[in-house]
Copies of this chain bind each other. A is one copy, B any other.
Amino acid sequence: MAAIAQDEDWTTRFTGLSRLEPRIREVLTSRSQVIRVPADTVIFGPGKSPENMLLLLEGTVRVQQLAENGREVVLYRVTAGESCVLTTACMLAYEDYSAEGVAETDIVAAAVPRAVFDDLVSTSKEFRTFVFTAYSRRMTDLFHVIEDIAFRRMDIRLAQKIIERADTGVLKATHAQLAAELGTAREVISRQLAEFQRRGWVTLGRGTVEILDCDALRKLSES
């Protein structure tokens, strides 16, 4: 996670933008602004549509759906090198959505103004492909979320999530946070984790889940 140099050509950090014609690259870098946003900032959400399309250079944005009763579910994450299409979506059209994007870490992003975005879409085939690919990927992500929620068992989903988000072998998250990830209730997570611990797959601590038997978790998550 290298820092961004002041005049670095960050376009090369995006798969899909690497082969832009120099002229387009110039437009993109010169007419957009690199911004920094602290962790936990709400980037967009009901009643807060951003002016710009964001291209994430560093950090991750968590996009989640909120329900009236306070429960949540994570839809997808935007990581460095990806664009936040939802931003584009509400920038260009529809506003009636109930999802919000939150900076999960401190963030560095290129903010591309609406007009520049439109210009680039119309003049660069590469950029068009980049944008449409981003849309498709998100759609696909949403399909997977729907499939998971509607048809997969909680234990399987939890095992999967633990593996996915525990890079070091220890996952730092409370049961409540995991519940919000998966769109379920905290008690459900507590009980499932207790069961995993009983089987010797994990050790639980306050705010942590330590993986003992990754293979067992993986096996469950693939069943």
Contact = CB atoms under 8 A, between A and B. Distances in A.
Given A125-B118, A132-B88, A146 B143 contact: no
A71 B142 contact: no
Nearest to A132: B92
Copies of this chain, complex-wide, total: 2
A81 B143 CA distance: 24
A121 B140 CA distance: 22
Interface string A145-158: 11101110000000
Contacts of A145: 146
Nearest to A142: B142
Contacts of A68: 151
A33 interface: no
A145 B140 CA distance: 14
A146 B118 CA distance: 30
A65 B136 contact: no
Interface of A: 65, 67-69, 71, 73, 75, 86, 88-90, 92-94, 96-99, 118, 121-123, 125, 128-129, 132-133, 135-140, 142-143, 145-147, 149-151, 183
Q: 8 nearest interchain CB pairs?
A: A94-B136, A89-B136, A93-B133, A67-B151, A150-B183, A93-B136, A92-B132, A142-B142
